[in-house]
Protein backbone atom coordinates (compact mmCIF):
# COMPACT_ATOMS: atom_id res chain seq x y z
CA UNK A 1 0.00 0.00 0.00
CA UNK A 2 2.90 2.36 0.38
CA UNK A 3 4.29 1.75 -3.08
CA UNK A 4 4.17 5.47 -3.71
CA UNK A 5 6.43 6.05 -0.70
CA UNK A 6 8.89 3.43 -1.87
CA UNK A 7 9.12 4.94 -5.34
CA UNK A 8 10.37 8.15 -3.76
CA UNK A 9 12.79 6.43 -1.43
CA UNK A 10 15.81 8.05 -2.99
CA UNK A 11 16.84 10.55 -0.38
CA UNK A 12 16.33 11.05 3.32
CA UNK A 13 17.52 14.35 4.74
CA UNK A 14 17.93 13.34 8.38
CA UNK A 15 18.91 16.83 9.53
CA UNK A 16 15.87 18.40 7.87
CA UNK A 17 13.56 15.83 9.47
CA UNK A 18 15.15 16.38 12.88
CA UNK A 19 14.70 20.14 12.50
CA UNK A 20 10.92 19.59 12.48
CA UNK A 21 11.15 18.56 16.15
CA UNK A 22 12.01 21.82 17.89
CA UNK A 23 12.53 20.27 21.33
CA UNK A 24 15.51 18.38 19.95
CA UNK A 25 17.47 21.59 19.49
CA UNK A 26 17.11 22.49 23.18
CA UNK A 27 19.61 21.83 25.98
CA UNK A 28 19.25 19.93 29.23
CA UNK A 29 21.66 20.51 32.13
CA UNK A 30 23.98 22.34 29.73
CA UNK A 31 24.11 19.52 27.19
CA UNK A 32 22.23 19.08 23.90
CA UNK A 33 18.98 17.24 24.59
CA UNK A 34 19.57 13.64 23.59
CA UNK A 35 16.17 11.98 23.43
CA UNK A 36 16.43 8.19 23.43
CA UNK A 37 13.02 7.34 24.87
CA UNK A 38 10.91 7.24 21.72
CA UNK A 39 9.61 3.75 22.54
CA UNK A 40 7.83 5.28 25.56
CA UNK A 41 6.45 8.21 23.58
CA UNK A 42 7.73 9.99 20.48
CA UNK A 43 8.34 13.70 20.08
CA UNK A 44 5.94 15.50 17.72
CA UNK A 45 6.87 17.22 14.44
CA UNK A 46 5.75 20.79 13.83
CA UNK A 47 3.20 19.59 11.27
CA UNK A 48 1.28 17.62 13.91
CA UNK A 49 1.32 20.50 16.38
CA UNK A 50 0.26 22.94 13.66
CA UNK A 51 -2.54 20.72 12.34
CA UNK A 52 -4.05 20.37 15.82
CA UNK A 53 -3.68 24.05 16.54
CA UNK A 54 -5.17 25.09 13.18
CA UNK A 55 -8.09 22.71 13.63
CA UNK A 56 -8.82 24.03 17.11
CA UNK A 57 -8.59 27.63 15.91
CA UNK A 58 -10.71 27.43 12.80
CA UNK A 59 -12.56 24.15 12.30
CA UNK A 60 -13.54 22.76 15.69
CA UNK A 61 -17.06 21.55 16.53
CA UNK A 62 -18.53 18.29 17.77
CA UNK A 63 -18.86 15.60 15.15
CA UNK A 64 -21.63 13.43 13.65
CA UNK A 65 -24.56 15.51 14.86
CA UNK A 66 -24.21 19.10 13.79
CA UNK A 67 -26.55 20.54 11.20
CA UNK A 68 -24.32 23.51 10.51
CA UNK A 69 -21.35 23.93 8.23
CA UNK A 70 -18.67 24.12 10.91
CA UNK A 71 -19.76 20.80 12.43
CA UNK A 72 -19.94 19.22 8.99
CA UNK A 73 -16.36 20.29 8.28
CA UNK A 74 -15.18 19.00 11.66
CA UNK A 75 -16.91 15.69 10.93
CA UNK A 76 -15.24 15.57 7.52
CA UNK A 77 -11.82 16.13 9.13
CA UNK A 78 -12.51 13.45 11.74
CA UNK A 79 -13.66 10.91 9.15
CA UNK A 80 -10.75 11.87 6.88
CA UNK A 81 -8.47 10.93 9.78
CA UNK A 82 -10.17 7.55 9.95
CA UNK A 83 -9.60 7.09 6.22
CA UNK A 84 -5.94 8.09 6.68
CA UNK A 85 -5.56 5.36 9.29
CA UNK A 86 -7.36 2.85 7.07
CA UNK A 87 -5.04 3.54 4.15
CA UNK A 88 -1.97 3.58 6.42
CA UNK A 89 -2.50 -0.01 7.60
CA UNK A 90 -4.53 -1.17 4.58
CA UNK A 91 -7.65 -1.99 6.58
CA UNK A 92 -10.42 -3.26 4.28
CA UNK A 93 -12.92 -0.54 5.18
CA UNK A 94 -13.23 2.61 7.29
CA UNK A 95 -15.80 0.85 9.49
CA UNK A 96 -12.98 -1.46 10.64
CA UNK A 97 -11.09 1.50 12.12
CA UNK A 98 -12.25 2.20 15.67
CA UNK A 99 -10.78 5.22 17.42
CA UNK A 100 -9.86 4.65 21.06
CA UNK A 101 -8.00 6.63 23.72
CA UNK A 102 -4.91 4.58 23.05
CA UNK A 103 -3.72 1.04 22.43
CA UNK A 104 -4.58 0.11 26.01
CA UNK A 105 -8.21 1.06 25.46
CA UNK A 106 -8.14 -0.79 22.14
CA UNK A 107 -7.16 -4.01 23.91
CA UNK A 108 -9.76 -3.42 26.61
CA UNK A 109 -12.31 -2.88 23.83
CA UNK A 110 -11.51 -6.31 22.40
CA UNK A 111 -11.62 -7.81 25.91
CA UNK A 112 -15.01 -6.19 26.49
CA UNK A 113 -16.58 -7.18 23.14
CA UNK A 114 -14.89 -10.27 21.76
CA UNK A 115 -14.24 -11.27 25.38
CA UNK A 116 -17.99 -11.27 26.06
CA UNK A 117 -18.34 -14.21 23.65
CA UNK A 118 -15.92 -16.41 25.66
CA UNK A 119 -17.01 -19.15 28.06
CA UNK A 120 -15.49 -20.77 31.13
CA UNK A 121 -12.63 -23.05 30.14
CA UNK A 122 -11.83 -21.14 26.93
CA UNK A 123 -8.15 -20.35 26.50
CA UNK A 124 -6.23 -17.19 25.62
CA UNK A 125 -2.62 -17.54 24.49
CA UNK A 126 -0.25 -14.69 25.26
CA UNK A 127 3.46 -14.29 26.02
CA UNK A 128 5.50 -13.18 29.02
CA UNK A 129 7.01 -10.59 26.69
CA UNK A 130 3.77 -8.60 26.40
CA UNK A 131 3.33 -5.08 27.68
CA UNK A 132 1.06 -5.01 30.74
CA UNK A 133 -1.63 -3.54 28.49
CA UNK A 134 -1.71 -6.86 26.64
CA UNK A 135 -1.69 -8.91 29.86
CA UNK A 136 -3.83 -7.30 32.52
CA UNK A 137 -7.08 -7.00 30.48
CA UNK A 138 -6.82 -10.75 29.78
CA UNK A 139 -6.12 -11.54 33.43
CA UNK A 140 -9.18 -9.54 34.45
CA UNK A 141 -11.27 -11.21 31.77
CA UNK A 142 -9.97 -14.64 32.75
CA UNK A 143 -10.87 -14.02 36.40
CA UNK A 144 -14.34 -12.80 35.48
CA UNK A 145 -15.20 -15.57 32.98
CA UNK A 146 -13.17 -18.52 34.21
CA UNK A 147 -10.77 -18.54 31.26
CA UNK A 148 -7.35 -20.16 31.11
CA UNK A 149 -4.30 -18.08 30.15
CA UNK A 150 -1.55 -19.96 28.31
CA UNK A 151 1.87 -18.28 28.46
CA UNK A 152 4.53 -18.39 25.74
CA UNK A 153 8.17 -17.42 26.30
CA UNK A 154 10.61 -15.69 23.96
CA UNK A 155 13.72 -17.55 22.78
CA UNK A 156 17.29 -16.28 23.21
CA UNK A 157 16.82 -14.07 20.16
CA UNK A 158 13.93 -12.21 21.80
CA UNK A 159 11.35 -13.84 19.55
CA UNK A 160 8.30 -15.91 20.43
CA UNK A 161 8.75 -18.76 17.97
CA UNK A 162 5.76 -19.77 15.82
CA UNK A 163 6.43 -23.39 16.89
CA UNK A 164 5.81 -22.37 20.49
CA UNK A 165 2.45 -20.91 19.49
CA UNK A 166 1.58 -23.99 17.43
CA UNK A 167 2.35 -26.20 20.44
CA UNK A 168 0.17 -24.07 22.74
CA UNK A 169 -2.95 -24.18 20.55
CA UNK A 170 -5.75 -26.45 21.79
CA UNK A 171 -9.37 -26.93 20.75
CA UNK A 172 -10.27 -24.50 23.54
CA UNK A 173 -7.99 -21.69 22.28
CA UNK A 174 -10.22 -18.76 21.33
CA UNK A 175 -7.78 -15.87 21.23
CA UNK A 176 -4.08 -15.27 20.69
CA UNK A 177 -2.79 -11.91 21.95
CA UNK A 178 0.81 -11.11 20.97
CA UNK A 179 2.94 -8.09 20.22
CA UNK A 180 4.22 -7.39 16.72
CA UNK A 181 7.43 -5.87 18.10
CA UNK A 182 8.82 -6.19 21.62
CA UNK A 183 8.94 -2.94 23.57
CA UNK A 184 11.93 -4.29 25.54
CA UNK A 185 14.00 -6.25 23.01
CA UNK A 186 12.97 -4.21 19.98
CA UNK A 187 12.69 -7.45 18.03
CA UNK A 188 10.12 -7.84 15.26
CA UNK A 189 7.93 -10.87 15.83
CA UNK A 190 6.79 -13.32 13.11
CA UNK A 191 3.24 -11.98 13.20
CA UNK A 192 2.22 -13.37 9.82
CA UNK A 193 3.08 -16.88 11.00
CA UNK A 194 1.13 -16.30 14.24
CA UNK A 195 -1.91 -15.29 12.18
CA UNK A 196 -1.67 -18.36 9.92
CA UNK A 197 -1.36 -20.72 12.89
CA UNK A 198 -4.22 -19.05 14.74
CA UNK A 199 -6.46 -19.18 11.67
CA UNK A 200 -5.68 -22.85 11.12
CA UNK A 201 -6.96 -23.54 14.63
CA UNK A 202 -10.10 -21.46 14.16
CA UNK A 203 -9.16 -18.91 16.83
CA UNK A 204 -8.83 -15.13 16.63
CA UNK A 205 -5.63 -13.10 16.99
CA UNK A 206 -4.94 -9.63 18.35
CA UNK A 207 -1.62 -7.98 17.51
CA UNK A 208 -0.21 -5.18 19.64
CA UNK A 209 1.36 -2.95 17.02
CA UNK A 210 2.43 -0.03 19.23
CA UNK A 211 6.14 -0.38 18.48
CA UNK A 212 5.93 -2.06 15.07
CA UNK A 213 3.83 0.64 13.43
CA UNK A 214 6.54 3.21 14.20
CA UNK A 215 9.28 1.36 12.35
CA UNK A 216 7.74 -0.64 9.51
CA UNK A 217 4.89 -0.69 7.02
CA UNK A 218 1.81 -2.46 8.31
CA UNK A 219 -0.73 -4.25 6.13
CA UNK A 220 -3.38 -5.81 8.34
CA UNK A 221 -4.90 -7.75 5.45
CA UNK A 222 -1.56 -9.26 4.45
CA UNK A 223 -0.96 -10.15 8.10
CA UNK A 224 -4.41 -11.67 8.37
CA UNK A 225 -5.07 -10.59 11.94
CA UNK A 226 -8.46 -10.17 13.59
CA UNK A 227 -7.49 -7.14 15.69
CA UNK A 228 -4.56 -4.74 15.40
CA UNK A 229 -4.07 -2.00 17.97
CA UNK A 230 -1.66 0.92 18.21
CA UNK A 231 -1.45 4.32 19.85
CA UNK A 232 -0.98 7.73 18.28
CA UNK A 233 1.64 9.08 20.65
CA UNK A 234 4.36 6.60 19.75
CA UNK A 235 3.77 7.33 16.06
CA UNK A 236 4.77 11.02 16.38
CA UNK A 237 1.11 11.88 17.01
CA UNK A 238 -0.74 13.10 20.09
CA UNK A 239 -1.66 11.25 23.26
CA UNK A 240 -5.31 10.45 23.90
CA UNK A 241 -5.91 8.73 20.57
CA UNK A 242 -5.29 5.19 19.43
CA UNK A 243 -6.73 2.73 16.99
CA UNK A 244 -8.27 -0.70 17.15
CA UNK A 245 -8.49 -2.22 13.68
CA UNK A 246 -11.11 -4.97 13.49
CA UNK A 247 -11.56 -7.50 10.73
CA UNK A 248 -14.84 -6.82 8.91
CA UNK A 249 -16.58 -9.87 10.36
CA UNK A 250 -15.87 -8.68 13.92
CA UNK A 251 -16.75 -5.06 13.18
CA UNK A 252 -20.17 -6.26 11.98
CA UNK A 253 -20.88 -8.83 14.68
CA UNK A 254 -19.37 -7.88 18.03
CA UNK A 255 -21.61 -6.48 20.74
CA UNK A 256 -21.13 -2.88 21.83
CA UNK A 257 -18.85 -2.09 24.75
CA UNK A 258 -19.28 1.22 26.52
CA UNK A 259 -22.75 2.75 26.34
CA UNK A 260 -23.45 6.40 25.66
CA UNK A 261 -23.99 8.90 22.90
CA UNK A 262 -22.73 8.35 19.34
CA UNK A 263 -22.97 4.56 19.66
CA UNK A 264 -26.77 4.30 19.58
CA UNK A 265 -29.38 4.14 16.85
CA UNK A 266 -32.51 4.72 18.95
CA UNK A 267 -33.06 4.97 22.69
CA UNK A 268 -36.42 4.74 24.44
CA UNK A 269 -37.62 3.82 27.92
CA UNK A 270 -38.07 0.29 26.68
CA UNK A 271 -34.68 -0.23 25.21
CA UNK A 272 -31.97 0.76 22.84
CA UNK A 273 -30.77 -0.20 19.41
CA UNK A 274 -27.18 0.33 18.50
CA UNK A 275 -25.35 2.15 15.75
CA UNK A 276 -23.17 0.26 13.26
CA UNK A 277 -19.38 0.01 13.34
CA UNK A 278 -17.23 1.93 13.94
CA UNK A 279 -19.56 4.30 15.83
CA UNK A 280 -21.03 1.35 17.72
CA UNK A 281 -17.69 1.10 19.55
CA UNK A 282 -17.12 4.83 20.03
CA UNK A 283 -19.40 5.93 22.86
CA UNK A 284 -19.28 9.61 23.74
CA UNK A 285 -17.60 12.53 22.03
CA UNK A 286 -14.37 11.23 20.53
CA UNK A 287 -10.91 12.81 20.69
CA UNK A 288 -11.60 14.92 17.60
CA UNK A 289 -8.55 17.19 17.59
CA UNK A 290 -6.31 14.25 18.46
CA UNK A 291 -7.68 12.31 15.49
CA UNK A 292 -6.72 15.24 13.28
CA UNK A 293 -3.29 15.18 14.91
CA UNK A 294 -2.93 11.45 14.29
CA UNK A 295 -3.85 12.01 10.66
CA UNK A 296 -1.10 14.64 10.40
CA UNK A 297 1.34 12.22 12.05
CA UNK A 298 0.46 9.56 9.48
CA UNK A 299 0.99 12.14 6.71
CA UNK A 300 4.39 12.91 8.24
CA UNK A 301 5.37 9.24 8.30
CA UNK A 302 3.98 8.45 4.85
CA UNK A 303 5.76 11.31 3.13
CA UNK A 304 9.10 10.09 4.47
CA UNK A 305 10.95 7.62 2.24
CA UNK A 306 10.25 4.58 4.38
CA UNK A 307 13.06 2.38 3.04
CA UNK A 308 15.62 5.14 3.62
CA UNK A 309 14.21 5.77 7.10
CA UNK A 310 14.51 2.06 7.89
CA UNK A 311 18.12 2.09 6.68
CA UNK A 312 18.82 5.20 8.78
CA UNK A 313 17.31 3.62 11.91
CA UNK A 314 19.07 0.31 11.22
CA UNK A 315 22.43 2.09 10.93
CA UNK A 316 21.86 3.93 14.20
CA UNK A 317 20.60 0.74 15.81
CA UNK A 318 23.82 -1.02 14.81
CA UNK A 319 25.91 1.87 16.19
CA UNK A 320 23.95 1.70 19.44
CA UNK A 321 24.11 -2.08 19.77
CA UNK A 322 27.81 -2.34 18.91
CA UNK A 323 28.63 0.58 21.21
CA UNK A 324 26.90 -1.19 24.07
CA UNK A 325 28.40 -4.57 23.27
CA UNK A 326 31.93 -3.15 23.06
CA UNK A 327 31.62 -2.21 26.73
CA UNK A 328 32.49 -5.21 28.87
CA UNK A 329 30.51 -3.92 31.83
CA UNK A 330 27.24 -3.79 29.87
CA UNK A 331 24.72 -6.61 29.54
CA UNK A 332 22.49 -6.36 26.47
CA UNK A 333 19.17 -8.20 26.48
CA UNK A 334 17.85 -9.78 23.33
CA UNK A 335 19.70 -10.82 20.19
CA UNK A 336 23.45 -10.24 20.07
CA UNK A 337 23.68 -9.15 16.47
CA UNK A 338 20.36 -7.77 15.31
CA UNK A 339 20.35 -3.99 14.86
CA UNK A 340 17.09 -2.64 16.24
CA UNK A 341 15.60 0.67 17.33
CA UNK A 342 14.93 -0.43 20.93
CA UNK A 343 17.69 -1.91 23.11
CA UNK A 344 17.42 -2.98 26.76
CA UNK A 345 20.63 -3.18 28.76
CA UNK A 346 22.13 -2.98 32.21
CA UNK A 347 25.41 -1.66 33.51
CA UNK A 348 26.63 -4.59 35.57
CA UNK A 349 26.60 -3.84 39.29
CA UNK A 350 24.55 -0.67 38.90
CA UNK A 351 20.83 -0.09 39.14
CA UNK A 352 19.30 1.20 35.90
CA UNK A 353 17.80 4.11 37.84
CA UNK A 354 21.33 5.18 38.80
CA UNK A 355 22.32 5.01 35.16
CA UNK A 356 19.30 6.99 33.99
CA UNK A 357 19.86 9.64 36.64
CA UNK A 358 23.50 10.18 35.69
CA UNK A 359 22.63 10.19 31.98
CA UNK A 360 20.00 12.83 32.67
CA UNK A 361 22.74 15.12 34.00
CA UNK A 362 24.39 14.76 30.58
CA UNK A 363 21.16 15.64 28.75
CA UNK A 364 20.42 12.02 27.83
CA UNK A 365 16.84 10.73 28.23
CA UNK A 366 16.44 6.98 28.57
CA UNK A 367 13.90 4.75 30.25
CA UNK A 368 14.81 2.66 33.29
CA UNK A 369 12.49 0.28 35.05
CA UNK A 370 10.32 -2.67 34.19
CA UNK A 371 8.95 -1.11 30.98
CA UNK A 372 5.43 -2.27 31.91
CA UNK A 373 6.70 -5.79 31.31
CA UNK A 374 7.24 -7.30 34.75
CA UNK A 375 6.66 -10.91 33.61
CA UNK A 376 9.47 -10.43 31.08
CA UNK A 377 11.76 -8.96 33.75
CA UNK A 378 11.07 -12.06 35.87
CA UNK A 379 11.79 -14.25 32.84
CA UNK A 380 15.13 -12.45 32.37
CA UNK A 381 15.92 -12.73 36.08
CA UNK A 382 16.19 -8.97 36.63
CA UNK A 383 14.00 -6.44 38.44
CA UNK A 384 14.62 -3.67 35.92
CA UNK A 385 16.65 -2.68 32.89
CA UNK A 386 17.69 0.52 31.18
CA UNK A 387 16.37 1.02 27.65
CA UNK A 388 17.49 3.30 24.85
CA UNK A 389 15.19 3.70 21.87
CA UNK A 390 15.49 5.50 18.56
CA UNK A 391 13.11 7.48 16.40
CA UNK A 392 13.19 8.90 12.90
CA UNK A 393 14.83 12.05 14.30
CA UNK A 394 17.65 10.24 16.13
CA UNK A 395 21.22 10.90 15.03
CA UNK A 396 24.68 9.37 15.32
CA UNK A 397 25.51 12.26 17.67
CA UNK A 398 22.68 11.12 19.96
CA UNK A 399 24.11 7.61 20.10
CA UNK A 400 27.63 8.90 20.76
CA UNK A 401 26.46 11.33 23.46
CA UNK A 402 24.60 8.46 25.10
CA UNK A 403 27.64 6.15 25.01
CA UNK A 404 29.90 8.87 26.43
CA UNK A 405 27.45 9.50 29.26
CA UNK A 406 27.20 5.76 29.86
CA UNK A 407 30.98 5.61 30.27
CA UNK A 408 30.76 8.38 32.84
CA UNK A 409 28.02 6.46 34.68
CA UNK A 410 30.28 3.41 34.61
CA UNK A 411 33.15 5.37 36.12
CA UNK A 412 30.92 6.83 38.83
CA UNK A 413 29.05 3.67 39.73
CA UNK A 414 31.62 0.91 39.42
CA UNK B 1 26.57 32.35 60.54
CA UNK B 2 28.24 31.23 63.78
CA UNK B 3 25.53 32.67 65.97
CA UNK B 4 22.86 30.81 64.02
CA UNK B 5 24.58 27.46 64.56
CA UNK B 6 22.17 24.87 65.74
CA UNK B 7 22.22 23.23 69.09
CA UNK B 8 19.96 20.21 68.58
CA UNK B 9 21.80 17.04 67.45
CA UNK B 10 20.11 16.68 64.03
CA UNK B 11 20.84 20.26 63.05
CA UNK B 12 24.43 19.95 64.25
CA UNK B 13 24.90 16.90 62.03
CA UNK B 14 23.29 18.75 59.14
CA UNK B 15 25.80 21.57 59.63
CA UNK B 16 28.63 19.02 59.37
CA UNK B 17 27.16 17.47 56.24
CA UNK B 18 26.61 20.90 54.71
CA UNK B 19 30.29 21.72 55.30
CA UNK B 20 31.28 18.51 53.52
CA UNK B 21 29.05 19.34 50.57
CA UNK B 22 30.40 22.89 50.42
CA UNK B 23 33.78 21.38 49.53
CA UNK B 24 32.31 19.65 46.49
CA UNK B 25 32.24 21.21 43.05
CA UNK B 26 29.96 20.22 40.20
CA UNK B 27 27.13 17.72 40.17
CA UNK B 28 29.53 14.90 39.33
CA UNK B 29 31.39 15.39 42.61
CA UNK B 30 28.15 15.74 44.58
CA UNK B 31 26.71 12.57 43.07
CA UNK B 32 30.04 10.85 43.58
CA UNK B 33 30.00 11.81 47.26
CA UNK B 34 26.43 10.55 47.67
CA UNK B 35 27.40 7.25 46.01
CA UNK B 36 30.40 6.96 48.36
CA UNK B 37 28.17 7.55 51.38
CA UNK B 38 26.00 4.66 50.17
CA UNK B 39 28.99 2.37 49.76
CA UNK B 40 30.16 3.17 53.28
CA UNK B 41 26.81 2.24 54.83
CA UNK B 42 26.60 -1.35 56.09
CA UNK B 43 24.07 -3.26 54.01
CA UNK B 44 20.85 -4.51 55.53
CA UNK B 45 20.86 -8.28 55.93
CA UNK B 46 18.68 -10.06 53.41
CA UNK B 47 16.29 -11.38 56.08
CA UNK B 48 15.28 -7.80 56.90
CA UNK B 49 14.47 -6.91 53.28
CA UNK B 50 10.81 -7.86 53.47
CA UNK B 51 7.52 -6.49 52.18
CA UNK B 52 7.02 -4.99 55.65
CA UNK B 53 10.27 -3.02 55.56
CA UNK B 54 10.02 -2.02 51.87
CA UNK B 55 9.18 1.66 51.40
CA UNK B 56 6.46 2.13 48.81
CA UNK B 57 6.54 4.97 46.32
CA UNK B 58 10.25 4.71 45.59
CA UNK B 59 11.39 4.37 41.99
CA UNK B 60 13.94 1.81 43.11
CA UNK B 61 13.64 -0.55 46.05
CA UNK B 62 14.21 0.99 49.47
CA UNK B 63 13.99 -0.77 52.84
CA UNK B 64 13.85 0.83 56.27
CA UNK B 65 14.04 -0.82 59.70
CA UNK B 66 13.26 1.14 62.89
CA UNK B 67 14.46 -0.17 66.26
CA UNK B 68 13.72 1.71 69.49
CA UNK B 69 16.71 1.75 71.81
CA UNK B 70 16.08 3.41 75.16
CA UNK B 71 14.71 6.87 74.44
CA UNK B 72 16.05 7.00 70.88
CA UNK B 73 15.21 5.26 67.60
CA UNK B 74 17.90 3.49 65.62
CA UNK B 75 17.23 3.29 61.86
CA UNK B 76 18.83 1.01 59.34
CA UNK B 77 18.13 1.09 55.63
CA UNK B 78 19.19 -0.03 52.20
CA UNK B 79 18.43 0.34 48.51
CA UNK B 80 19.26 -1.60 45.38
CA UNK B 81 20.32 1.62 43.63
CA UNK B 82 23.62 3.34 44.44
CA UNK B 83 22.44 6.95 44.45
CA UNK B 84 19.34 6.25 46.51
CA UNK B 85 21.44 4.15 48.89
CA UNK B 86 23.67 7.18 49.42
CA UNK B 87 20.65 9.38 50.08
CA UNK B 88 19.35 6.80 52.55
CA UNK B 89 22.75 6.88 54.29
CA UNK B 90 22.57 10.67 54.41
CA UNK B 91 19.09 10.71 55.93
CA UNK B 92 19.93 7.98 58.44
CA UNK B 93 23.05 9.84 59.51
CA UNK B 94 20.72 12.68 60.39
CA UNK B 95 17.87 10.83 62.08
CA UNK B 96 19.20 7.54 63.40
CA UNK B 97 19.83 7.42 67.14
CA UNK B 98 17.72 10.52 67.78
CA UNK B 99 14.74 11.04 70.03
CA UNK B 100 11.33 10.82 68.39
CA UNK B 101 10.61 14.46 69.20
CA UNK B 102 13.79 15.63 67.44
CA UNK B 103 12.97 13.47 64.41
CA UNK B 104 9.47 14.92 64.19
CA UNK B 105 10.84 18.47 64.46
CA UNK B 106 13.37 17.87 61.65
CA UNK B 107 12.53 19.49 58.28
CA UNK B 108 13.98 17.06 55.74
CA UNK B 109 12.88 19.11 52.73
CA UNK B 110 14.73 22.16 54.00
CA UNK B 111 17.80 20.03 54.75
CA UNK B 112 17.95 18.66 51.21
CA UNK B 113 17.40 22.13 49.80
CA UNK B 114 20.36 23.33 51.82
CA UNK B 115 22.55 20.50 50.50
CA UNK B 116 21.51 21.31 46.94
CA UNK B 117 20.11 17.83 46.51
CA UNK B 118 16.45 18.72 46.05
CA UNK B 119 16.76 20.00 42.49
CA UNK B 120 19.62 17.68 41.61
CA UNK B 121 17.29 14.73 41.98
CA UNK B 122 14.64 13.79 39.51
CA UNK B 123 11.09 14.30 40.75
CA UNK B 124 10.52 10.56 40.82
CA UNK B 125 13.62 10.19 42.94
CA UNK B 126 12.52 12.96 45.25
CA UNK B 127 9.19 11.24 45.65
CA UNK B 128 11.00 8.11 46.70
CA UNK B 129 12.99 10.05 49.22
CA UNK B 130 9.82 11.76 50.40
CA UNK B 131 8.23 8.35 50.96
CA UNK B 132 11.19 7.30 53.06
CA UNK B 133 11.09 10.49 55.13
CA UNK B 134 7.34 10.03 55.62
CA UNK B 135 8.02 6.48 56.83
CA UNK B 136 10.67 7.72 59.28
CA UNK B 137 8.24 10.31 60.64
CA UNK B 138 5.48 7.71 60.94
CA UNK B 139 7.81 5.41 62.90
CA UNK B 140 8.83 8.30 65.17
CA UNK B 141 5.18 9.21 65.69
CA UNK B 142 4.28 5.60 66.50
CA UNK B 143 7.16 5.11 68.93
CA UNK B 144 6.63 8.51 70.54
CA UNK B 145 3.02 7.62 71.36
CA UNK B 146 2.75 5.15 74.24
CA UNK B 147 0.87 2.01 73.22
CA UNK B 148 -2.69 1.50 74.51
CB contact A360 to B (< 8 Å): yes
Please state, in angstroms and rounded to a whole number, the distance separating the CA atoms of residues A318 and A212: 18
Residues A225-247, buried b or exposed e (16+ Cβ, 10 A)? bbbbbbbbbbbbbbbbbbbbbbb
A282 and A363 inside one domain: no
Q: How confident is the model at residue A78 (pLDDT cuts 50, 70, 90)?
A: very high
pLDDT of residue B110: 87
CB of A384 within 8 A of CB of A224? no
Q: Is the pLDDT of residue B40 over 50?
A: yes
By residue range, what is the domain housing residue B93?
4-144
Question: Among residues A143, A142, A162, which one has the least CA distance to residue A152?
Answer: A162
Task: Measure in Å the smallest separation between the Cα of B10 and chain A Cα atoms.
Answer: 28
How much is the CA Rg of chain A, to the nearest whole Å? 22
Number of structural domains, chain A?
2
Q: Is the pLDDT of residue A85 over 80?
A: yes
Question: Among residues A124, A168, A165, A129, which one has the least CA distance to residue A142?
Answer: A124
Domain assignment present for A41: no
Least reliable range by pLDDT among A340-354, B68-82, B124-138: B124-138
Going by DSSP bridges, is the β-strand pair A204-208/A173-179 parallel, antiparallel, or unpaired? parallel
Question: Among residues A38, A47, A73, A63, which one has the least CA distance to residue A286?
Answer: A63
pLDDT of residue A299: 98
Does A408 contact B125 at a Cβ distance shorter than 8 Å? Answer: no
Q: Is the pLDDT of residue A243 over 60?
A: yes
CB of A186 within 8 A of CB of A159? no
Q: Is residue A225 among the annotated active site residues? A: no
A208 and A355 inside one domain: no
Nearest beta carbon to residue A360 from set B79, B81, B122:
B122
CATH code (residue B37): 3.90.1010.10
A135 and A98 inside one domain: yes
Q: Where are the beta strands (DSSP E) in A87-154?
A: 97-100, 123-127, 148-152
Question: Among residues A374, A409, A368, A105, which one has the least CA distance to residue A229?
Answer: A105
CATH code (residue A16): 3.90.1150.10
Helix axes B9-22, B82-95, angle to 10 degrees: 140
A76 and A17 inside one domain: no
CB of A17 within 8 A of CB of A393? yes
Query: φ, ψ for residue A367 (rounded to 5)?
Result: -95, 145
Nearest beta carbon to residue B122 from set A357, A369, A383:
A357
A335 and A280 inside one domain: no
Q: Which residue has the higher pLDDT, A280 or B120?
A: A280
By residue range, what is the domain housing residue A312?
3-32+305-413
A104 and A140 inside one domain: yes
A199 and A109 inside one domain: yes
CB contact A414 to B (< 8 Å): no
pLDDT of residue A5: 45
Q: Please compute the mean of the pLDDT values over residues A179-186 and round it to a whole number.
A: 96
A121 and A175 inside one domain: yes
For A279, which DSSP code? G
Number of structural domains, chain B?
1
CATH code (residue A221): 3.40.640.10
Q: Is the pLDDT of residue A185 over 50?
A: yes
Domain assignment present for A43: no
End-of-domain residue from the set A277, A302, A327: A302
ipTM: 0.83
In this structure, what is the dihedral angle of CA atoms A405, A131, A391, A300, given to the nearest 10 degrees?
Answer: -160
A93 and A234 inside one domain: yes
Residues B60-90, buried b or exposed e (16+ Cβ, 10 A)? bbbbbbbeeeeebbebbbbbbbbbbbbbbbb
End-of-domain residue from the set A264, A281, A302: A302
Query: φ, ψ for residue B77 (rounded to 5)?
Result: -155, 175
Does A353 contact B84 at a Cβ distance shorter than 8 Å? Answer: yes
End-of-domain residue from the set A266, A285, A302: A302
Question: Could you tell me the pTM of the whole model?
Answer: 0.91
Does B125 contact A353 at a Cβ distance shorter than 8 Å? Answer: yes
A335 and A292 inside one domain: no
Amino acid sequence: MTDAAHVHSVHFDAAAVRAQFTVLSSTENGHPLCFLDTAASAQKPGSVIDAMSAFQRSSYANVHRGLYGLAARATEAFEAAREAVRAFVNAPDARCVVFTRGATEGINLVAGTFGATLRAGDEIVLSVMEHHANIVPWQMLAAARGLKLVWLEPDAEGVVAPQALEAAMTPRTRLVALSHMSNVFGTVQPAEAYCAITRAHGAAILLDGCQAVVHQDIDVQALGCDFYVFSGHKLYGPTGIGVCIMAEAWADSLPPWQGGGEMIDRVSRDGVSFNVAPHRFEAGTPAITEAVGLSAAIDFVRTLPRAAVEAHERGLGARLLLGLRRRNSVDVYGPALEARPVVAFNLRGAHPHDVAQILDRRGVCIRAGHHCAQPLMTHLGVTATARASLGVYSSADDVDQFLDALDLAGRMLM
Amino acid sequence: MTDSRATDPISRTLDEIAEEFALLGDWEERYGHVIDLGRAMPPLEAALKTEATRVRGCASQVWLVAEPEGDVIRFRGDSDAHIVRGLVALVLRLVSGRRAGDILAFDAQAAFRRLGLDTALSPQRSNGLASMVARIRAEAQRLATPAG
